[in-house]
Structures are given as structure tokens and as C-alpha cells.
Amino acid sequence: MGGALRSLGNSTSAIFLNPAAMAETRVYHVEGLAQVSPEARRQVYGGVVSDSVTGRLAGSIAVVGGFIDGDGFDRSFLDARLALAYPITERLFIGLTGKYARIYQEGTLGAGSAGGLGESAASGGLRDPDDTDGGYLPIVDEFSFDAGLVLKVSDSVYLSAVGQNLTYPGNGLLPTTVGGGVGIGTTDFSIEADALADFSSYLSTSMRLMVGGEYLVGNHVPIRLGYRFDQGAGEHSLSGGLGYVGNEFAIEGSVRRALADPGATTIFIGLSYHLDAAGLTRSPAEL
């Protein structure tokens, strides 16, 4: 959906976009994630557990990591998150995510090209002065947090507000963003539009706009389309996806293509198991 899920993105997606959305539904899901971008030589893998069924306080934990451009930047990273959400009323939900990110860079900008700057503070990673083997220190080693809320205006209309990386790390690898969205969702159809202000990725504050929709065919097959515009990069992207969502498990995939020359393609795959539907958990009312 082009990233437009800050109002409707409950369950395992909420920990990445808006933790407050976890409290919208009553689920217990475990999901494995994979993301691959061939042009950027990027691979990301991880998992999420989201529980909003065993108590009023919803919780989620996620750990993802990966590798980017092994022949150039040669970055590797680990991202760990813990999120909590609580329904203040039946129509107002709040959430908070604590985050830790650790990123290494062992290559250089423009490696192998005439324009590369080689081993320098501007283009390379951070050498560890105490490592005689030429090891590296992390270029990012930060704790931060996200905070958000969701207002359920009616049974089908949701409004959201969220801030991410609110400790203001001051770099584009952990950008501080503030924004929100409006989503309309029914049993078979949903559509959402989000807007963010990005304070860190570029020299000046830039906007990011996202619009996406989903139609559920036969109560099991979601078909999704999305659009995203990044003002700072001057980049438009289109995305599409589908999957199968059953009572006890779901498998979903999507592809995003940047409309640039050269463009980049990113493939996303998720496989989730639903413990609540499998009868492996019980809500407090059943205890």
C-alpha cells in the first residue's frame, strides 16, 4: 500500500509504522519477514510477534537485520524494537515503541569508481583505533522511540498521528519524521492516505506522501496497490501486492518499483501464523 498504513496497519505492521494501531484488533500473530532489492544489493530478514488478545495492553517485539551493497557501502545492521499500545477508550488508542539500531559500514562511497573518495571520514566507515586488524566501529549505535495515536472516528474511519525517532538522532539512517494519515476500512475494502515531514534525511525538511488501497477477494485474497512520493529524493514509486490470508496463517508478497532512471525494485515477503485462531491463546475473559 505504498507505506500508507499508519491508521489501518494493525497487528505485526504497527510496530514499524504506528504502535497505537496494535490496539485496534484482538490478535496474536507471529510473522517472518524478508525484503530484497536487487539493484541496491539489499537483503533484510527478521521476525515479529504481536499480541493484543491476552490483555488490554497490547505488545509487540520485532528484530530485523540485513546487508546492503556488499561491493560498495558494505553496510550491515540490526534493528530491535519493543512496542506497547493501550486503548484509552473504545475509539482512542495510544502507543509507544522503544528502538535500538546498530549499523556498520565497512566499504566506501563510490568504491571501485574514479569518483570514489576511498578510505575517508566522508565516504567510509569508522575505523576502530584499538583494533590492530583494521576493524570498524558502528556508524550508528542509537536508542530512540516512536509515539503515536489512532482515533476511530466511526466504525470505518480512522485518523492517526505519529512521530518516529523522536530523540532526534540527526542523521538520515534514523530520520526523525512526524505525520499521520486517514484511513477508511470495511470488511472487504480499505484505502488510506498518509503524509510525513522528514527532518533528517536531506539538507532541509522534506515531505513524503503515500496512498494505498486493498480489496479482499473471497474473504481470503488481498489485492493491494500503492503510490509513494519522496520530495527530498524527487522520487515516485508504485507498488502492488497480493497474498492469501487464512484463519490460522497468511502469506503475503508485494513489489515496489521506483519510477526513476535508474530505478530500483524492492520485493517484500511475509509469512505469519495466527496463534489466536489456532486456539493456542486465550483472552482474559476466557481464563
Question: 17-39: per-residue pLDDT in tens?
Answer: 999 999 998 899 999 999 999 98
Q: What is the overall mean pLDDT for the chain?
A: 89
What's the pLDDT at 278? Answer: 64
pLDDT band at 268 (very low <50, low <70, confident <90, very high): very high
| Integer Cα distance of 43 and 39 in angstroms | 11
Question: 155-193: per-residue pLDDT in tens?
Answer: 999 999 999 999 999 888 899 999 999 999 998 999 999
* C-alpha dist (Å) from residue 284 to 60, 152, 226, 278: 18, 24, 38, 17
| Integer Cα distance of 135 and 117 in angstroms | 19
What is the set of domains in the chain, with CATH numbers? 11-111+135-286 (2.40.160.40)
Task: Name 215's Cβ contacts closer than 8 Å, sequence gap at least 6.
Answer: 188, 189, 222, 223
Mean pLDDT over 259-270 rounds to: 90
Segment among 46-55, 121-130, 236-245 with least mean pLDDT: 121-130
Choose between 95 and 39: higher pLDDT. 95
Query: Do 57 and 86 touch, CB atoms closer than 8 A?
Result: yes
SS percent in the chain: helix, strand, coil, step 5:
5, 55, 40
Mean pLDDT over 210-223 rounds to: 95
Task: Name 60's Cβ contacts closer than 8 Å, sequence gap at least 6.
Answer: 12, 14, 15, 19, 22, 48, 49, 50, 51, 81, 82, 83, 84, 85
What's the pLDDT at 113? Answer: 45
Q: Quickly list DSSP for 69-105.
A: -TTTT-EEEEEEEEEEEEESSSSEEEEEEEEEEEEEE
- Measure the N-to-C terminal CA separation of the chain; round to a whole number of Å: 38
Mean pLDDT over 50-77 rounds to: 91
| The pLDDT of residue 279 is above 80 | no
Residue 269 in grid coordinates: 515477503
